[in-house]
Structure 1
Amino acid sequence: MKKLLIFTLLIPLSAYSQGKADLSAKESTIFWKGTHIVGNNGHEGTLHFTSGNLTQSANGTITGGSFIIDMNSIKNTDEDDERGRKNIEEHLKSNDFFDVKKFPTATFTIVKIAPTTLPNKYAVTGDLLMKGISNRIVFTALINQNKEAISVKADHTLIRTLWGITYKSQGAFDFGNLKNDLISNAVPIKMELLFKKK
């Protein structure tokens, strides 16, 4: 009975020690870039979030977080022609790439975050679930915070074939016979995120 009472008393203290900061979806963006293996041709654009949050300990240390990415929000930003831009976006939404009708969202869940030797830089480990396939990724993030908000900037390169996106991908035996229309498996992304503290 005594142990049960102590456990009951600890529940509100534990809950109180945890803080949360909600992602400002309107002020947060993923920038992506796709290129061909041969030449410098390619496309770039943006993706946006549906929602997200970071959890913090009582002393402000970030302990975790989760995010939902709106795959229907994918936009092309380098094509000037409106019809060409829409064609690119629709192709990226098709089952050649992200198949957004079947998989309208992707999720990222932080499983570990640790400080590095550089000021305000952290090693972030998390699981990215996209097209029904989950892969663990690791990247370095620049994180700054004040009493009201947390800003995060990070770069990473995704290998798209790990999530089953193989359209015009570079195979193991393509190095000696590269085609002009092969698309790089590596997709650099840049994230700029803003969180508002509760």
Structure 2
Amino acid sequence: MKNFKSIALALVVVLSTVSVTAQTKKVDAAKSSINWTGKKVTGQHEGAINLKDGALVFKGKKLVGGTFNVDMNSIVVTDLKAGQGKEKLEGHLKADDFFGTDKFATATLVFKKLVTKAPNVYTVTGDLTIKGITKPVTFDLTTTANTATTNVKIDRTKYDIKYGSGSFFDSLGDKAINDDFNLAVALKF
């Protein structure tokens, strides 16, 4: 009996020191969505943009990392129809005044720090690169076995997107555009 207890104790010690290997879960870009909202004094516009690829890294059930690439040329406006200025606004968003997609076709996000806020809820700090400029961004991310969701607020002026910003230009009146835009992200993996 004494030997059995010694063996059992040794087994418990060995099992408790075995490290859990990381598992990378590739995000299904076709089933995931990124919807944006940009506000201005006189209203707002809404649209979508496509995820090129991405992955979340887990150790056991705990999220420990993530990387994402977004196709900036895929940006579309969803609150306007053809002939209502949809094409004009989409073209302007792709132009140098905004995202400069000819030169900067991809935006990236790399998770740098994750803090567990609640079960399956993490406060993520990551490096977001837009227009070749990398700045930290922090947001809460909720995960399930095969999904992750978040709402992220981004200050566009940190990425040299100053068009219509009341923070940089005077006398804009009702033509001012908010510096922040919001992303509602739903990932499937």
1:173: how far off? 7.7
Runs of 4+ aligned residues of structure 1 deviating over 6 Å after TM superposition are none
Find out whether 1:30 has 2:10 as its counterpart: no
Paired residue total: 172
Equivalent in the alignment of 1:8: none
Find out whether 1:183 has 2:183 as its counterpart: no
**Deviation per CA, 1:80-110, whole angstroms, max 9, x where unpaired?**
2346211111110000100000000000000
1:167 to 157, 163, 170: 163
* 1:73-84 correspondence to structure 2 within 5 Å: 73-82=74-83, 84=85
More relative contact order, 1 or 2 (CA 8 Å, 6+ apart): 1
TM-align CA RMSD: 1.9
Greater C-alpha radius of gyration = 2
Equivalent in the alignment of 1:119: 119
Which AA in structure 1 matches 2:55? N
Using structure 2 for the length normalisation, give the TM-score. Answer: 0.84
Equivalent in the alignment of 2:138: 138
Partner secondary structure for residue 88 of structure 2:
helix
Q: Aligned partners of 2:73, 2:169: CA distance in 1, in Å?
A: 34
* 1:2-81 correspondence to structure 2 within 5 Å: 17-36=21-40, 38-39=41-42, 41-57=43-59, 59-81=60-82
Using structure 1 for the length normalisation, give the TM-score. Answer: 0.81
Structure 1 gap segments, 5+ residues each? 1-12
Partner secondary structure for residue 157 of structure 2:
helix
